Structure formats: C-alpha cells, structure tokens
Amino acid sequence: MMQSIYGYTLDMLKEYMISLGEKPFRSSQIIEWLYRQKVRSFDEMTNISKAFIERLKADFDLDLLECVTKQESADGTKKFLFRLKDGNLIETVLMNNEYGYSACVTTEVGCNMGCVFCASGMKKKLRNLETHEIVLQVLTASLLTNINISHVVVMGIGEPFDNYDNVIRFIKILNEPKGLEIGARHITVSTCGLVPKIYEYSEFPLQVNLAISLHAPTNEIRNQIMPINKSYPIEILMKAIKDYIDRTNRRVTIEYILLQGINDTVYAANELANLLFGLNVYVNLIPYNEVKEKPYKRSKKEDMVKFFDILKKRKINVQLRREQGSDIDAACGQLRSKHIS
C-alpha cells in the first residue's frame, strides 16, 4: 500500500534503499528534494534515475494536507484547519515572533486529558496522528504561506506524550540537517504531566526543550482543573521534573494559564514560588483565551501583573506572555470544534 514519504526518517529511507539494492546516499538526496527544494513531484528529482523515480511513485505519495479554512490575526498569527485523508480535522498555528515564525502542531485527533478550561478536550480522542500527519502540518503551512518556519512547539490538540513514538520520529525528521534543519533547541514538546514519559524523554539524545503544563501550584487546585493530577499528583510530577533537569542539565518551561479566581491569587503565586524555588525553570504566564462553552474567565490585567510581580520578587524566572491571535479562534481546539458536530 502506498505510504506518505513524509513519515520516513533519513535512516528509514536508507533501509528502504538498501532493501532495493540502491545506494544509501540516495536517501540524503531525496530528503533534500523533499524539504530543501520542497518539490511537489518525484519527477522534479533530477539526480534520481527515471527507473527509480517510478519505484518511488509506486511506493510513496507526496500529498499535502487539505486546508479547509485559514484565519489570520492582525498580529500575524495564522490558524489553519486541515482535513486528514480519513476526514478528521486538526488545527495548526503559525505564530509571528521576534525571532521568526514558529509552528504549533497537533499530535492527536481530539484529546482525552480533560483539562476543564481547554477547548481541545471538548472532543474526545479518536486516534493518534501518524508521523507524516504531524510533519505535513509544518510543510503544508510553510508552502501555503511561503514562510520559513524556524521554531516548532508541540502544543496543539492532544497530549504529545500520549503519542510518544510518532512525536519522537517527527522531531528526528524536523532536526535532520539535510532536511528542514530545525535545531533541537528550537523545538519544544509540552506535556500536562505523563510522568513515565518525562523519564523516558530525559534519555532522548537530542537537546529538545521540555514544557510542563502545570497551571496550578497545589494538588487541591490542580485536581479541580486537570484530571491528570489524580494519576500523577504534583509531588510525583515535580520529582520527575527535577530528575529531568539533573539528567539533561536543561531548563524546563512551566506553562501557567491564569484563570480568574481559580489559580491567579496571591496565595497561588506564593505557593508556585515555593514549589519552584531553586529549580532551573522558566515560568510562562499565559493570558487565558476564553472558550464560550466553558465558564472560566481570563484573569484581570491587574491580577496578572500582581502574580508576575510576586514571582519576580521571589527570584523566579518568569515572563507574562503577550497575546497572540486573540481576534480569531485563538484557543486550541476552538476552530476545529466549530466545524464538527
């Protein structure tokens, strides 16, 4: 059966070449055509023999994702709704930053984590995305906009560590020097706290970044908004984070969405400072993109600033993230939810 070539790492293509009696270096040539030249036909690969091109055509396709709709914000944020071959819909976002464009990719059709404030979990997980379906989000968005994507965050719909093997292969394809060549330190994977996978991820040889969707400093608060905490409470999660930092000597990003009256109090700020003091972490305070189906509200500006100031005074490395895409369906999963029943 024909497969997408975009799910193949360089090593997998080498194995394919060897199995057919071809020279292994052909795999590097193909990778360059796919990701450097971004060809849309095998026939454009002029340094590959015509006979072998016919074999490639028989075994692989070069299909992109179908773009159902695209939204663009005044700040340059671009949000895509893509249709997969089985008809399922996923979201991808391009964000315009000072250092260039970053792509936020989806890893699952739906999400089972059930974070109560999140639009992604309003539709339960149907399946994992295959590697090529994650790769194609980056490639299709780049081709549709003629934008060179320099950074990737794995923070879209789904829990990346619940689709671990495909996400790891995706990272290897992104990082391939002869391909997209996105540096490991320009790739960030976010998890809501699947502790066993954090330990496994600490053994991954590439220096890819880790972000933890924490969103609460105590079990009492986190149990209310994130069901994963009942399986892996904060003390167990923090032990895994400390182990990761010790093993990798890398800083961990702590993501913290500010919800009015839930986790944005002076008490919560001080508890968060107590929890994180002395650790090599960076706190990203995130204004909440409200979801009309959810009762949660964005923190007031003065409460966000007060929360930030407390962390800063307590010597916690922190930033209050600027809003992006607030004039479109900014919350992860919102656009998809509009198009499915």
Q: What are the structure tokens assigned to 292, written together?
A: 């009309």
Q: Which residue has the tokens 């949000």?
A: 79
Contact 264, 258 (CB under 8 A): yes
Amino acid sitting at position 216: A
> What Cα–Cα distance (Å) separates residue 43 from each residue in 26, 47, 246, 299, 324?
15, 10, 49, 55, 40
Bin 21: left if φ > 0, else alpha if -120 < ψ < 50, else beta: left
The C-alpha atoms of residue 151 and residue 148 are separated, in whole angstroms, by 9
Catalytic residue among 111, 115, 118, 332: 332
* Contact indicator for 107, 164 with CB cutoff of 8 Å: no
- Specify burial of residue 204 (Cβ count, 10 A radius: 0-12, 13-18, 19+): middle
Is 44 an active-site residue? Answer: no
Could you give the C-alpha distances from 27 to 166, 209, 245, in angstroms and in order?
20, 28, 36
In angstroms, rounded to a whole number, what is the distance separating the alpha carbons of residues 88 and 279?
A: 41
Q: Answer yes or no: 67 catalytic.
A: no
In this structure, what token pair is assigned to residue 192?
């809501």
44, 91, 271, 293: the catalytic one is 91
For 287-332, where are the alpha helices, taking DSSP H only?
301-313
Q: Which residues are catalytic?
A: 91, 332
